[in-house]
Chain A
Amino acid sequence: DTAVSQTPKYLVTQMGNDKSIKCEQNLGHDTMYWYKQDSKKFLKIMFSYNNKELIINETVPNRFSPKSPDKAHLNLHINSLELGDSAVYFCASSQLPRSSGGTDTQYFGPGTRLTVL
C-alpha cells in the first residue's frame, strides 16, 4: 500500500499551459508539503499545509497555487507554465508537529517529473 502517492508520475506540456499535480497520503498525517527538486538534485520546500491551513509559503511565484480539499490531499496547480518550472515535484507528509507531541519525519511520494517544452 502506497503511503504517499502522486499523479501523474510524468508530465510533459507546452509553455503557457496550466497543469495540476495531485497528492494523497493514507498515513493519517495532518501536515503535507510540496518540494521542488532541480536538475542538480537540490530539494527546496515550496508549501506546507497543516489541517488544510497554509503554514509555509516560500518565495514561490503566485502561478503556483496549492489546494487542500482535506487533510489527506494536497494538490499543486501551476498556471502559465514556464521553461524554468521543469523539475521533479515531491509531495510529503508528516504527523502532528512536535509542539503537539508528534514527530517531524516527513514521508515522501515518488515524485512527478514535469517537463515544460
Chain B
Amino acid sequence: GESVGLHLPTLSVQEGDNSIINCAYSNSASDYFIWYKQESGKGPQFIIDIRSNMDKRQGQRVTVLLNKTVKHLSLQIAATQPGDSAVYFCAEIPGSNDYKLSFGAGTTVTVRA
C-alpha cells in the first residue's frame, strides 16, 4: 500500500505487503527529519531519522528516503505486520533552530489480516 500526494490521512495495507507512507515538507532549510509511530493511547515513538546530507537510510524493516529537490520524505515498511498499525508522523527540524520539531499531520496505517 502507498499514500500519495501531500498527505493521505489513512492507509490500508494487507499483512505481509510493503507500506509506503509519504510526507511533503515546506522548509528547504530543514536539515533533520524523523519518523515517529504513535500507537493508540501511547506517545509517539521514534522509528528512524535522516539528515539532509543523506538520501536514504535503512533500519530494521524500515527505510526512509529523502528527496530534497522536491522536498519529499517517505517511510517504507517491509512485510507489514499487524503491530505496525498506528499513526505515523514525519517531523522536521529547521536548520536555524536545534530544538523546534515540527510535525506533519500524520497518516493512520491499518493492517488487514
Contacts and interface: CB of A to CB of B under 8 A. Distances in A.
Nearest to B101: A106
Interface in B24-76: 32, 34, 36, 38, 41-46, 49
Contact of A43 (B32, B103, B108): B103
Contacts of A99: 98
A66 interface: no
Given A41-B87, A42-B106, A108 B101 contact: no
Contacts of A90: 43-44
Contacts of B105: 40-42
A97 B98 contact: yes
The A contact surface, by secondary structure, is strand
Contact of A45 (B44, B89, B101): B101
Contact of A111 (B42, B97, B98, B101): B42
Contacts, number: 61
Contacts of B34: 104-106
A109 B43 contact: yes
Contact of A97 (B43, B99, B108): B99
Interface in A78-101: 90, 92, 94, 97-99
Interface in A37-85: 40-45, 48, 50, 55-56
Contacts of A107: 46
A75 to B, nearest CB: 17
Given A104-B34, A108-B45, A45 B87 contact: no
B103 to A, nearest CB: 4
Interface of B: 32, 34, 36, 38, 41-46, 49, 87, 89, 93, 97-103, 105-106, 108
6 contacts: A44-B103, A56-B100, A104-B34, A104-B49, A107-B46, A108-B45
- Which 4 A-B pairs have CB atoms at the shortest separation, nearest pair first? A108-B43, A97-B98, A43-B103, A108-B44
